[in-house]
Amino acid sequence: MEITDVRTERIEVPLDRPLGVSRDRSLDARGAAFVVVETDAGITGIGEGVGPESYIVERIVEEKYAPLLIGEDPLDIERHWQSMVTDTVYQDRKGQGLSAASGVDIALWDIAGKHHGVPVYRLLGGPMEGSLKPYASDLFWQDPETMAERARSYVDRGFAGVKTHLGRGLDADEARVAAMRDAIGDAALMVDMNCGYDRPEARRVGRMLEEYDVYWYEEPLTPYDVDGLAALRRELDVPIASGENEYTKWGFHDLFEADAVDYAMPDVMRCGGITEAKKICALAETYNTVCSPHCFTTGVGLAATMHVMAASPACEWLEFDPTDFEVYEPLFETPPTIADGRIDLPEEPGLGVNLDEDVIGEFRVA
């Protein structure tokens, strides 16, 4: 079997409700770059690379990686990872080169699963269990009452935890945390600051979060400040979560060596794909650190994340988008369902997803 083509499909989905995060920032659209790898055996693999600029991922995939891959055996996944990431003289240690490689790697694992007729997690050594525990990842910046109502609705739907995005000052953050804690009772409340604070303010806000039994305090600082994360972890009782802006096992090794995180959050679509995410999860296990991969993406990224988590004993808590995002559950061959606070694993060969033209066609970027 040989690779005959490597290309990308880019989409952008406008949002009815802007996604407000820290420092008065917001998003009014969500984009994606899907990587499509075709073979002479008629098997097509689908992956996703999170840029976030999808046009940069497209150019790297099609101009840098495609020439390395066409004519090669798609099942030589580790060798292809090395050729994309470590074999060049000038290496992309972080950033969009790794995001693009992640998309290719995921597509190659999709091909491998289809070739062998099994879900990808079985090739990775799983499953550990037949289902995963999701938390609802939404609750972007709005007034406290609206956020509390939305949080309650997700717990009523069966989610054991919810995540909110704050980071606009101690008083404003506390008003929303208090409202949501009152609304959801004993359910887990995760708080994401999207790198919104400096060290002094992060410390003050962290003290407040302790009073509301917050489950984790996510990305309070810039990802460049690993020492600051480690200091917060020593000073606060609320657990620290970070890693969505980190890349490769080497980057996560630095986080673990610094004792900077309680919850490691590799993004399968950025950190190096399924190949590298599996290694990061194994590394986390050696440091007795829980992995909860970052996964705010499309159905392709969700599927890739689920397969990695299913085969990794270090993993807990699947990040799940509970909104009606048009390119999320509809990309699955069998859309995932949540029952009794758990989500079943895909059973189809490969990732269990497809790029249905009826689903992505209206969002395609020419």
Give the active site residues. Answer: 294
Q: Residue 16: count other Cβ atoms within 10 Å of its Cβ.
A: 7
Distance (Å, rounded) from C-alpha 348 to C-alpha 153?
A: 31
Phi–psi pair at 148, nearest 5 degrees: -65, -40
Instruction: Give the end-to-end CA distance of the chain in Å, rounded to a whole number.
Output: 31
The two structure tokens encoding residue 354: 């497809």
In the chain the beta strands, taken as DSSP E runs, fall at 3-20, 26-39, 44-49, 131-132, 134-137, 161-165, 188-192, 216-218, 240-242, 263-264, 290-291, 318-320, 338-339, 342-344
Return the closest-CA partner of residue 137 out of 162, 157, 166.
162
Cβ-based burial of 347 (10 A; exposed 0-12, middle 13-18, buried ≥19): exposed
